[in-house]
Amino acid sequence: MSPVGGPVGPAPGADRSTDPYLPQHGNGGYRVLHYDLDLDYRIVPNRLAGKAVVTARAVHSLSRFSLDLAARLGVRDVRVDGRAARFEHRLGKLRIKPERPIGYGSTFKIEIRYGGKPAPVSGRWGDIGWDELTDGVLVASQPNGAPSWFPCNDRPDDKASFLVTLTVATPYTVLVTGDLVVRRRGPGTTTWVYERNEPTSPYLMGVQIGRYELVELAAGGVRQRAAIPPRLRTALRHDLGRHGEIMKVLEWMFGPYPFREYVVVVADDDLDDPVEAQGMSVFGRNHLDGRRTHERLVVHELAHQWFGNSLTVADWRQIWLNEGFATYAEWVWSGASGGPSTDAHAAQWHAWIAAQPANLTVADPGVARMFDPVVYKRGALALHALRVRLGEQSFFALLRSWAAENRHSTVTTAQFRQHAARFAAEPLDDLFTVWLDRRPLPPLPRIA
């Protein structure tokens, strides 16, 4: 409740995004241009105090609007263009009524002071977002965990730039997706300032806090570093010892790495699965075993920097454009590094999918199955079928131009189909229809 007025009800359409899978996340009426987050975090009591300044542009005339913010984070004050605004915060929505309506096309600033004990957003995929580790913090927000730590327009197609200032106790290292621009020591605390200039979806902003040592992963044109518990240094040198080669293979496949730096964080806790943020991937200590058991996951998460992070799905129906591409990168790396060939992987996973019920459509799997392994593997098989149809030269030229022409933007399956058609001598509608739009599994594509 606001000190300057009573409850603020939702405006028609203001609290819903255009994403059919997560309609309660994301908001209409405006697009965010920039987030400026100034955060103070106390690790032992798990207390976060923050000020967020959100710069946005109205795409409709607005008498009210909303942002996503977890209910457990209390809001103390809201101002729009410097003027106190009425607000209501409940059920994960911060509804705001500015003192003056905002005109169509106007740029405006929302200042929000908030705080509390951050926790993950719970849902069908488990706990997503700001999560306490044994000694530190991990933030992994795909697909809907960003509101667990800052007020945002939580939709993948609303990309913005970020400036994140975070103050924590001095013994801890802070890594935020972006470029470190300032680190200031204070009495018992250190303030870290990170800038993310490339357009970034809220769910791709990561914060990692721990007692980490920073080490170089590989030499080369792209800066590649790792943040690790010091005792895991030897295992890291072996398990990620080919990271520079992996980067070269993926740049050959997809074109230049789309950011200035890549950081691998290894948390000192076990994690079920690694996760990617923009310019960063996070693994658990269990992913380092000294035998490169999980190298395919290293490839998978790096591939997401192109497909998922630079090229981000316009909505979650298009998830195969992230996961099918990253899975196919695993198969190509396997063959390039002396392991089973891409054809062998395709045959293996085609047989596996054939043994599953044919009850999923890759291009629209439904919210309950958007992270189903079939989406990953059959999405990769669709790319393999396209490679067989087009031939090596045209296929990889297609991938590189797809990544280059859509750099730092959002994409859809329809756009990919149109893009692929430019590289084909004959229509590709039949190929995409059977692999992406229909449930029965097509025959395994084979190189002539």
Domains and CATH numbers, the chain: 30-199 (2.60.40.1730), 213-305 (3.30.2010.30), 313-437 (1.10.390.10)
Nearest C-alpha neighbor of 276 from the set 200, 214, 345, 349: 200
CB 183 within 8 A of CB 105: no
Question: Distance between CA 446 and CA 397 in Å, rounded?
Answer: 20
Exactly one of 88, 276, 295, 301 is catalytic; which is it? 301
The one catalytic residue in 376, 392, 405, 426 is 376
pLDDT (0 to 100) of residue 448: 55
Residue type, 185: R
Provide the pLDDT for residue 126: 86
Active site residue 392: no
The mean pLDDT of 373-398, rounded to a whole number, is: 98
* Rounded mean pLDDT, 321-346: 98
List C-alpha distances in Å: 289 to 235, 272, 294: 6, 15, 8
Q: Which residue has the higher pLDDT, 7 or 11?
A: 11
- Residue 447: pLDDT band with limits 50, 70, 90: low
What CA–CA distance (Å, rounded) separates 263 from 402?
24
Comparing 82-91, 119-128, 343-352, 405-414, the range with the smallest average pLDDT is 119-128
Tokens of 405: 């022409």
In the chain, % helix, strand, coil (3-state, to 5) comes to 30, 35, 40
- Say whether 301 is catalytic: yes
Per-residue pLDDT at 8: 66
What pTM, to 2 d.p., does this model score? 0.95
Q: Is the pLDDT of residue 133 over 90?
A: yes
287 is in an annotated binding site: no
81 dihedral zone (left: phi>0; alpha: psi -120 to 50; beta): left
Which of the 8 DSSP states describes residue 91? T
CA distance 362 to 365: 5
Quote the mean pLDDT of the chain. 95
d(CA 259, CA 278): 8
pLDDT, residue 1, reads: 39
Flag whether 294 is marked binding: no
Q: Which residues pair with 127 in a beta bridge?
A: 122
Asked if residues 147 and 276 have their Cβ atoms less than 8 Å apart, the reply is no
Asked if pLDDT for residue 213 goes beyond 60, the answer is yes
